[in-house]
């Protein structure tokens, strides 16, 4: 049998019919041309796997056709067998010089023609495999370079990166024989089962669905046995066994239809299904190198980023705690403010990146207090106008301390704007409405609630109901118009959950009705900034 398409070029209709019938009997498809110009056009359009080319034709002879085929990048790899009644050695040499891959004299022996055609097709197939391998390695190198060039450690997500790897594996061109049509991506979960997704290339788009239930190691093991890499083609015993596995129904997908290639490590497994070509050990090695190397890189980076992230969060937490202790003993104040802020932001429909960033930025709201002298912050008597003016500068000092690192952009917003009021009566700039960053608006409410619930040198700890009443109805210091109406509405819906956070993370002495720690007046969170009575509680 001969697989592929044959272009037959001859100006004799009888010869065309005979050769067409010969190759049809071998299972090959054929296209025919009666002259050189039509042959060149068909070769470019139909991309045959082999060309049988007559030499003696009117107009453009076979030698000229062959030279043009071999000089065209789109057709130069197609093997050409020149078939002619000319039998002289010089004629054969002329044909080979024109680029012909083989030369047969008429009358052609059918068995010889078929044998030589099969050999040339096999050489072409190997040549195509080599070219595809080169292209695939170039694509992998390009993908790796892009991955490294655009890698953002601040926005890194291992799961998203693995999904991107599957999209690269499938490509975006249906019908590409070098790529699979489907891929199963699995990763070990916390209890040792395999969870993941099935990816499918459909109409130039990669779609995916998550597995509804995890797959146990016992259900995946029959596919791999003791090996880390497997491959099988339709007709193989291994393929038949693999196609019968319950694995595919567990993955809510159909069994492999043509072939499969699989790779498994101690934490990730990928099974690529239905390539457009026969797969081999080479394809298995490519999958292993691609997935194994990239996954190892991503996993290593992920681990390092997690370590850096832990150090980062610990450092800014320590800085926040230092700022708070510079003022007063607030216990879990900064932790609670973070939690309140996250809760409100989620209720407002903010995206998870914003919520996560706010969750560590809110605690930095008073970091500027580190530049305020402790004697002012702990003063048990009324502040002078000059002292109050200095205290208000803690918002500006906070920005100076936090610097210009992009990770701390929201923390700078919070530090600068958490004393601004929706109605424009806040400080340091008297911003109003939407001109106040959302992060600052949320943190202001979170900070005020926690301050009301906590003991301060200038006030007792209020109970939850009193704190809610002050925020929503106002008193002589706090006004509802200080708050973004949407945030105030969210607080009304969430106040019981906010109370639960306060009770979960109590500070020593933060109980309603407890006396102030020292003095009767001091620095409050809600001042109007007039330097006389814009602080504390009477």
Strand, coil or helix: what is 424?
A: coil
Give the residue from 120, 118, 66 showing the smallest Cα distance to 92.
Answer: 66
Q: How far apart are CA 228 and CA 507, in angstroms?
A: 54
- The Cα-based distances of 175 to 171, 200, 202, 276 in angstroms read 10, 13, 10, 7
Distances 386 to 199, 311, 531 between C-alpha atoms, Å: 66, 38, 7
DSSP 12: -
Rounded distance, CA 172 to CA 179, Å?
A: 10
Q: Is the pLDDT of residue 510 over 70?
A: no
Q: Is the pLDDT of residue 525 over 50?
A: no
Torsion of CA 132, 138, 141, 145, to 10 degrees: -140
Sorted by sequence, the CB contacts under 8 Å of residue 316 that are 6+ apart come out as 360, 363, 364, 408, 411
- Most confident range, picked from 117-126, 147-156, 234-243, 317-326: 234-243
Instruction: Provide φ and ψ at 502, rounded to 5°.
Output: -60, -45
Number of Cβ atoms within 10 Å of the Cβ of 86 = 16
Tokens representing 39? Answer: 């042959």
DSSP 461: B
**Chain segment 379-400, per-residue pLDDT in tens:** 877 889 999 999 999 999 999 9
pLDDT surpassing 70 at residue 269: yes
Question: Residue 404: left (phi > 0), alpha (psi -120 to 50), or beta?
Answer: alpha
Q: Is 515 exposed, middle or buried (0-12, 13-18, 19+ CB in 10 A)?
A: exposed
Q: Is the pLDDT of residue 165 over 90?
A: no
Least confident of 164-168, 408-412, 433-437, 446-450: 164-168
The mean of the pLDDT values for the chain is 84
User: 3-class SS at 247?
Assistant: helix
pLDDT in tens, 32-51: 999 999 999 999 999 999 99
What is the dihedral angle through the alpha carbons of 124, 130, 131, 136, rounded to the nearest 10 degrees? 140
Under CATH, what is the fold of the domain 328-504?
Answer: Hypothetical protein af1432 (1.10.3210)
- Position 534 pLDDT exceeds 70: no
Three-class secondary structure of residue 420 per DSSP: coil
Q: How far apart are CA 146 and CA 204, in angstroms?
A: 21
How far, in Å, CA of 361 to CA of 378, rounded? 25
Radius of gyration of the chain (CA): 38
- pLDDT confidence of residue 150: 58
CA 142 to chain centre: 17
Helix (H, G, I), strand (E, B) or coil at 270: strand
Tell me the average pLDDT across 240-246: 93
pLDDT (average), residues 422-438: 96
Task: Write down the pLDDT at residue 535.
Answer: 30
Residue 201: in which H helix or E strand, if any? strand 194-202
Is residue 537 predicted with pLDDT exceeding 50? no
Q: Would you list the domain boundaries of the chain?
A: 5-126, 151-301, 328-504
- C-alpha angle 394-398-401 in degrees, rounded to nearest 5: 130
First-to-last alpha carbon distance for the chain, in angstroms, is 100
Strands (E) in 106-193, as ranges, are 182-188
* Token digits of residue 122: 């096999």
Report residue 523's pLDDT band, with 50, 70 and 90 as the boundaries: very low
Question: Same fold for the domain at 5-126 and the one at 328-504?
Answer: no
Sheet strand arrangement including 194-202: 205-210, 194-202, 182-188, 268-273, 259-264, 229-233
Query: Which residues pair with residue 187 across a beta bridge?
Result: 195, 268
Superfamily covering domain 5-126: Response regulator (3.40.50.2300)
Q: Report CA 462 to chain centroid distance, whole Å.
A: 47
Q: How far is CA 345 from CA 350, 412, 419, 440, in A?
A: 6, 18, 18, 11
CA distance 443 to 446: 5
- Could you tell me the pLDDT band of residue 166, with boundaries at 50, 70 and 90? confident
For residues 345 and 328, give the distance between their C-alpha atoms in angstroms, rounded to a whole number: 27
**Distances in Å between the alpha carbon of 4 and those of 58, 275, 422?**
28, 17, 74
Per 3-state DSSP, the chain is made up of helix, strand and coil in percentages (nearest 5) of 50, 15, 35
257 close to 234: Cβ distance less than 8 angstroms: yes
The residue count of the chain comes to 538
Looking up tokens 């906010």, which residue turns up?
498
Is the pLDDT reported for residue 514 higher than 50?
Answer: no
The answer to whether 357 touches 485, Cβ cutoff 8 Å, is: no
309-347 residue pLDDT tens:
778 788 888 888 887 776 555 568 888 999 999 999 999
Pick the most confident of 5-9, 189-193, 381-385, 520-524: 5-9
Summarised one tens digit per residue, pLDDT across range 99-141 is 988 888 888 888 999 998 989 988 888 777 767 666 666 666 6
CATH class for the domain made up of 151-301: alpha beta
């Amino acid at each position: 049998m001969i697989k592929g398409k044959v272009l037959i070029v001859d100006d004799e209709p009888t010869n065309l019919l005979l050769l067409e019938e010969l190759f049809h009997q071998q299972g090959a498809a054929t296209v025919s041309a009666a002259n050189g110009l039509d042959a060149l056009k068909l070769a470019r359009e139909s991309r045959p796997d082999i060309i049988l080319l007559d030499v003696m034709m009117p107009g453009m002879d076979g030698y000229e056709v062959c030279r043009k085929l071999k000089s065209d990048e789109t057709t130069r790899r197609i093997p050409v067998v020149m078939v002619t009644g000319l039998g002289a050695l010089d004629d054969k040499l002329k044909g080979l010089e024109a680029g012909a891959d083989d030369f047969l004299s008429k009358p052609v022996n059918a068995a010889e023609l078929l044998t030589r055609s099969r050999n040339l097709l096999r050489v072409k197939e190997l040549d195509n495999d080599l070219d595809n391998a080169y292209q695939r390695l170039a694509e992998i190198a390009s993908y790796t370079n892009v991955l490294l060039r655009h890698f953002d450690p601040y926005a890194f997500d291992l799961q998203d990166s693995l999904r991107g790897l599957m999209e690269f594996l499938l490509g975006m061109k249906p019908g590409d024989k070098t790529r699979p049509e489907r891929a199963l991506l699995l990763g070990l979960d916390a209890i040792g089962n395999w969870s993941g997704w099935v990816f499918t290339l459909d109409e130039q788009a990669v779609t995916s669905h998550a597995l509804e239930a995890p797959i146990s190691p016992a259900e995946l093991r029959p596919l791999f046995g003791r090996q880390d890499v497997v491959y099988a083609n339709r007709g193989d015993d291994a393929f038949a066994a693999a196609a019968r596995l319950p694995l595919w129904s567990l993955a809510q997908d159909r069994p492999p239809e043509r072939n499969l290639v699989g790779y498994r490590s101690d934490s990730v497994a990928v099974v690529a299904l239905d390539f457009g070509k026969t797969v081999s050990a080479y394809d298995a090695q490519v999958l292993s190198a691609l997935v194994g190397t990239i996954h190892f890189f991503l996993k290593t980076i992920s681990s390092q980023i997690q370590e850096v992230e832990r150090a980062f969060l610990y450092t800014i937490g320590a800085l926040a705690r230092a700022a708070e202790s510079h003022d007063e003993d607030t216990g879990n104040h900064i932790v609670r403010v973070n939690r309140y802020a996250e809760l409100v932001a989620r209720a407002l429909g903010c995206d998870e990146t914003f919520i996560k960033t706010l969750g560590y930025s809110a605690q930095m709201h008073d970091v500027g207090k580190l530049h305020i002298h402790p004697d002012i912050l702990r003063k048990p008597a009324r502040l002078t106008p000059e002292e109050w003016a200095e205290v208000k500068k803690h918002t500006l000092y906070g920005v100076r301390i936090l610097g210009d690192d992009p990770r701390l952009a929201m923390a700078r917003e919070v530090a600068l704007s958490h004393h601004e009021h929706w109605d424009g009566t806040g400080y340091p700039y008297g911003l109003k409405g939407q001109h106040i960053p959302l992060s600052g608006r949320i943190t202001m409410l979170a900070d005020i609630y926690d301050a009301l619930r906590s003991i301060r040198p200038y006030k007792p700890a209020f109970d939850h109901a009193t704190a809610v009443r002050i925020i929503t109805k106002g008193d002589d210091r706090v006004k509802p118009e200080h708050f973004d109406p949407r945030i105030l509405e969210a607080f009304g819906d969430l106040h019981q959950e906010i109370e639960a956070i306060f009770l979960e993370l109590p500070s020593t002495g933060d109980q309603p009705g407890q006396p102030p720690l020292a003095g009767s007046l001091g620095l409050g969170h809600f001042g109007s900034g007039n330097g006389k009575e814009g602080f504390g509680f009477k």
